[in-house]
Amino acid sequence: MLVKIINHFIVSSLMVLLLTNCREKSLEIEINLLPGKYCFNEGNNNDSLFLFEDKRYIHRYFLSETDIYETKGYWQFDSLSKKISFYDFIFYNEMGPINESGGVWNSKVYLTEDGEIRLIYSRENGIFYYKE
């Protein structure tokens, strides 16, 4: 009986610690931490995203020194789901714009243990924008 009580206490304590840690971690992603420069972790740093405090963004893709694509729009952060939405967003690759008309890109915001903020492009493939 004593072993069951001790096991229950240990499991309960671990649950409280995990829940507390998750709550503290989620509080760290606040809207005021999001503005700044983000770089794409794939390629040769030719894809950058700039978030501004007034909820505007600029997305730049450097195809070459002379061919630079740029999109402007606005962003919105949902603190409950930890998702950021970019409106009028255009994705680019080596051929230029993928979706020329623009659209909404919803990205999960992730905070690493080291405090790096990431905007997830593909969780499965480990592709993201990271804040410099």
- Domains of the chain (ranges, CATH numbers): 31-131 (2.40.128.280)
More confident residue, 77 or 20: 77
Say what the pLDDT of residue 17 is: 39
Say what the pLDDT of residue 117 is: 96
pLDDT at residue 45 greater than cutoff 80: no
* Stated pTM of the model: 0.76
Nearest to 24 by CA among 117, 91, 113: 113
Q: Report the Cα–Cα distance between both ends of the chain, in Å, rounded.
A: 54
pLDDT at residue 25 greater than cutoff 70: no
pLDDT at residue 5 greater than cutoff 50: no
More confident residue, 53 or 26: 53
CB atoms within 10 A of CB 73: 19
Tell me the pLDDT of the chain averaged across its residues: 82
pLDDT winner (highest mean) among 19-23, 81-85, 98-102: 81-85
Could you tell me which residues come within 8 angstroms of residue 106 by beta carbon, excluding any fewer than 6 positions away? 83, 84, 85, 86
Q: How confident is the model at residue 20 (pLDDT cuts 50, 70, 90)?
A: very low
Dist CA 115 CA 130 (whole Å):
11
Say what the pLDDT of residue 54 is: 97
